[in-house]
Structure 1
Amino acid sequence: MVENNANGNDSYVVDLTRTLLKDGSKFLSHTLVITKNNAYLRPTVGAMMFCVVYIVVGGFLASLAAYLLVVSAHYDLSIFVGGFGIAIGAFGIMLIQPFLRRARFDKKLGVFENHKDRNVKLQHIVSLQINNKIIKRKNALSYACFELNLLTEDGRRINILNHNNEDQLENDGVLLSMFLGVELKDYRREIEL
């Protein structure tokens, strides 16, 4: 929304209560690790295992298809099982890729990088923000989800982390704000499921 201020210049009003992401994970996906000069997000064992199960099952089914092809002459069954295994394995690989990209704050280089957005100089980060939202599904239960974002002096807002473990996200936000020396703003509001 554009408004005219007292000087006659246009100013932009950004709604910081609006969530950035449409979805969010229902489980703790990452934990914050802070060292002397770096802070980065590391995927949790549970999140990685969730993805690895798909990859292992897909590999098993592809191996079973190869075995069926060698031992028996059931080409149609081998093709079906192999195709299904490849699809499940590919889905697991697709799921695990975002977990392998590390978002990190590097004090030596003075940048935040998440391999998705343009790098941000740490000196341009003015605050961190916690937001909440409800993920509504047509055929499933709705659930609360929280996101941690960084805000820059030029008005950019970049998502750092989101999941539904509110206490862990708040703790990570406090630790990260102390590491960066910036304010943590809380934009959570009362919402009903």
Structure 2
Amino acid sequence: TTTLLTMGLLSAVTGGWGGLNQTQTRKIMAYSSIAHLGWMASILTLAPNIMILNLMLYLLMTISTFMMLMFLTSKTIKDLTMAWTTSPMMTTLTLITLMSMGGLPPLTGFMPKWLILQELTLHNLSTTAMMMALSALLSLFFYLRISYVTTLTLSPTTQQNKFKWRFQPKQKTMLMIVTMTMSTLLLPITPTLM
């Protein structure tokens, strides 16, 4: 138990810290995965059902995020700033999903973190819970940085035309719409699950 808690805490801190200075969305998502794995490892022996719930919600949010990033053809934060001019609604939904992955309270991603912190404190591991919560702030910070850069700044190379140079019309799939909705609005079902 102690080994998994230590590995989970180190993984959460490493994932949060590593993602701070990244500009490519793939690397940011990779460090986010490391941080989420830390949350799952820390609760694995104490409450496997919460770990499974965390895994399912993480997969849901990650699938939604990757589908939206593919839809927007965004590989860097700079690409996201240019996506804002061509598809503001999808960019907004992408940023809301990223906030959910960071664990911002009104969104779905807050639920597993809240349940894990609650379980850690029930097992008298309040120091570990506090350190895990602080590590979540690191991840939330780089998601907030992406949101800030995307919404409030424009890339200096942004063209003032309506479409990107190689514009390819894409259709939103039903899977993308369902995963976007679920990855942001599932928090109210928490009492039903636990």
**TM-score in terms of structure 2 length:** 0.31
| Greater RCO structure (CA 8 Å; 6+ sep) | 2
**TM-score in terms of structure 1 length:** 0.31
Between structures 1 and 2, the one with greater strand share: 1
